[in-house]
Every structure is written in structure tokens, then in C-alpha cells.
Homo-oligomer: A and B are copies of this chain.
Amino acid sequence: MKVAIVGATGYGGLELIRLISQHPQLTLNSLHSLRGDNELLSTIYPLVQQTPYDLAVEPFEPVKISKEADVVFFATPAGIAKDLIPQLDLKKIQVIDLSGDLRLEKREDYEKWYQNEAASQELINQAVYGLSEWHHDKLQGAMLISNPGCYATAILLGLTPLYEKLDIPSVIIDAKSGVSGAGKALSEATHFMQTHDNLQPYKMNAHQHLPEIEQQLGWVNEAVDPLTMTTQLLPIARGLMAVMYVTTTLSTSAIKKIYQDRYATDPFIRLSGEKIPTIQQVIGSNYCDIGWHKDERTGRLTVVTVIDNLLKGAAGQAVQNLNISQGWDETLGLPIVPMFT
């Protein structure tokens, strides 16, 4: 399949290129960016210089893309894909949107949390929400896929199995992300001097992935209370950890069984159990590792999930979703062994 990437100059776009370079069924056809000026990608990222993937970054050209590409990934910041996707011939070309534009079913939720006009309800309705392990069936053959957010992915893979089986009072989530999650734009918060040797909370209970998380949980259990969520910027480039505090009377072995039953056949879920995972053990891979600890003193359950935010949290899950939609092996072209960094 021939691939076009819109938003090629961001970190998600770059990671897609790397994955495509290792994928036996995909060929990179063209790179696009709203500010594309036909300069080589290597003028921004020298790491691709003198590879076959160092293409010129073109402006967004819907006619050309519709004609030449079989699938197009949108790795754009929020608020862009919703206006560009309708310009494509959606009957001929498959679209995977990594931005948040098509994730929320209700337009008012988008408008509240993203502070921007929502996509048309029609477009939203067409999109399949691509939390791979939970929407396998719908993803098969899907022509428009909305890829989940990085925080949402880590949190939902930890919480959805519990919500599916249990009624749970409002969960508390303390989540931390590497700086790549903040995107490539220059800002004080991502200047080395402010990020390095620091930990920066931001968007207290206001992160736009919150309604996405509550929506998915609501699909498996109608009784979902609003969640508490702190997001924090770690002084690392890649990786994301969610620590989730759950009130439940279930025993450790019952919890283990829930996870084992639910994820028995999912190649990218690894259950670490009482050996709490660290961020490092998933970097460079599409895994989500899940650990948990039941405290005897309080009866509370602590669930810890880790992902590489650019892989399972973005480009990796996007390729996984493409694999599923095409009927290929889910793991096709995705690395099996993380990279020790």
C-alpha cells in the first residue's frame, strides 16, 4: 500500500516514517504539512538524510493524495484534520487520524474540551475509534479510523477491563508523559532549561483526553463517574506512565484473572502483575505493560500502565490499526523487542 502522511514534520509523523520503513506491506509515497514548502524532511530532521524516506515536504494536496495514496495518516495537531479529511475522496482512500478531531462522539464535548469548532457529526459518525484491543471487530475494513490519544491509551488499557466487570467509584489517575507528547512547537515548557531536572504538572483535571477516557469506559459500563486526572511532564523524551487508584474489594487473584481473561490473545499487552513496570521497558515498542498492587491496609488497588507515547500512544497503534483493518497480522512490521536507551 502507498502511504501519505499529513503532518509529517511532527514527532508522530516522523515515527510513522520509521515504522513504514520496517513494514513489508507499506511504501511511503508523499509527505505533507500545512507549512510544507517542498524542502527535504532532512532539513528539519537530519536523521533521515540520505535514506529513501527523505522526501520533500509538500503542502496538503488532497487531489494528489486521493489519486496516489492508498492510505493517509494525519499526524497533525488538534483542529486541523477535521477540515482536511473531507477534502479527500473517502471512498477510495483509507484515513487514519492521530489527532483528537474525530475521537469524541458528541460535538459539544469536543467544543468544550478542545475549545474549537467540532467536525461534522457525519464525519464523526463514520470514524471507528481505534483502541485496538477493544474495537478489533469494528476496525476490520474500517476506512476512517480515529486513533486514541496517548494518555487515553495507557489509561484505558488499564481501566477498561475493570469497568467492564465492575462498578467502580470515581478513579484517580496520576499520569506522566515524556516531552515528545508536548509536540514540536517551541515553548517555555519544552525549553531544555525548564524541562530538564524538573517535573511539571499541567492541565489539572482539564486534559482533553479526559472525555475520551470517560466515553470509552461508558461504552463498557454505563455507571461511570467523572475521573480525577493529573498530567505531568517528565524530563524524558519518550514514554508515558499512568498510575490509577481504584477502590475495589476484589482480591489480587481476581484482578489478575480479569486482566488475563481479557487480554489473553492480545500480542501487545504484557501483564507484569506485582512486578510494577517502569517506562524504560516499553520504549521503542508497541507494548502496553500493566502492573498492579492491592494494598492490604486500605483495600485500594493501584494499577500502573506504561507505553511509548510515540508508539502504542500514536504511530505504533496507528500501524496496528491499519494491520487490523487490512486483515494482516496485528504485529506486522512492528518491533517485538523494545530498545534499551
Q: Which residues of A contact B (CB under 8 A)?
A: 11, 14-15, 17-18, 21-22, 45-53, 170, 172, 174, 176, 179-180, 184, 186-188, 190-202, 204-205, 225-228, 230, 232, 234-239, 241, 243, 245, 270, 272, 275-285, 289, 291, 293, 295, 297-298, 300, 302, 304, 335-341
A230: B residues at CB distance < 8 A: 174, 243, 302
The reply to whether A11 and B193 contact each other, CB–CB distance below 8 Å, is yes
A-B contact pairs, 18 of them (CB 8 A): A21-B335, A22-B22, A49-B289, A51-B337, A53-B337, A179-B196, A190-B191, A190-B193, A192-B195, A192-B196, A195-B196, A198-B278, A199-B239, A201-B243, A201-B278, A201-B304, A204-B295, A235-B236
Known: A204-B295, A205-B302, A236-B199. A278 touches B22 (CB 8 A): no
- Please state if A245 and B192 are interface contacts (CB–CB under 8 Å): no
For residue A291, which residue of chain B has the nearest CB? B201
Whole-angstrom CA separation of A246 from B238 in the bound complex: 30
Query: Chain B's nearest CB lies how many Å from the CB of A233?
Result: 9
Complex contacts, A14 vs chain B, CB 8 Å: 340
Cβ 8 A contact of A17, one of B196, B225, B337 = B337
Whether the Cβ atoms of B47 and A337 lie closer than 8 Å is yes
Q: Are B272 and A49 in contact (CB under 8 A)?
A: yes
Select from chain B the residue with minimum beta-carbon distance to A53: B337
Contact flag A335-B192 (CB < 8 Å), given A236-B197, A239-B199, A298-B228: no
Kindly name the residue among A49, A179, A199 whose own CB sees the greatest number of chain B CB atoms within 10 A: A199
Q: Are B304 and A46 in contact (CB under 8 A)?
A: no
**What is the count of identical protomers in the complex?**
4
Q: Evaluate contact between B302 and A228: CB separation under 8 angstroms.
A: yes
B337-A204 in contact (CB<8A): no
Contact A191 B192 (CB under 8 A): yes
Task: Specify which of B47, B228, B270, B278 is in contact with A199 (CB 8 Å cutoff).
Answer: B278
The verdict on A21 contacting B336 (CB below 8 Å), with A170-B298, A184-B193, A196-B237 known, is yes
* CB-based closest 8 A-B pairs: A174-B174, A205-B295, A204-B293, A186-B186, A226-B297, A47-B281, A192-B195, A198-B280
* CB-based contact B339/A339 at 8 Å: yes
In the complex, residue of chain B having the shortest beta-carbon distance to the beta carbon of A17? B337
**Closest-CB distance, A125 to chain B (whole angstroms):** 26
Question: Do A340 and B298 touch (CB < 8 A)?
Answer: no
Find A279's partner among B190, B199, B341 (CB 8 Å cutoff): B199
A243 and B199 CA atoms in complex are apart in Å by: 11
A280 with B197: in contact, given A49-B270, A272-B46, A341-B237 (CB under 8 Å)?
yes
The minimal Cβ–Cβ distance linking A155 to chain B, given in whole angstroms, is 14
Residues of B within 8 A of A238 (CB): 197, 341
Residues of B within 8 A of A50 (CB): 270
Asked if residues B298 and A227 are in contact (CB atoms below 8 Å), the reply is yes
Are the C-beta atoms of B194 and A298 separated by less than 8 Å? Answer: no
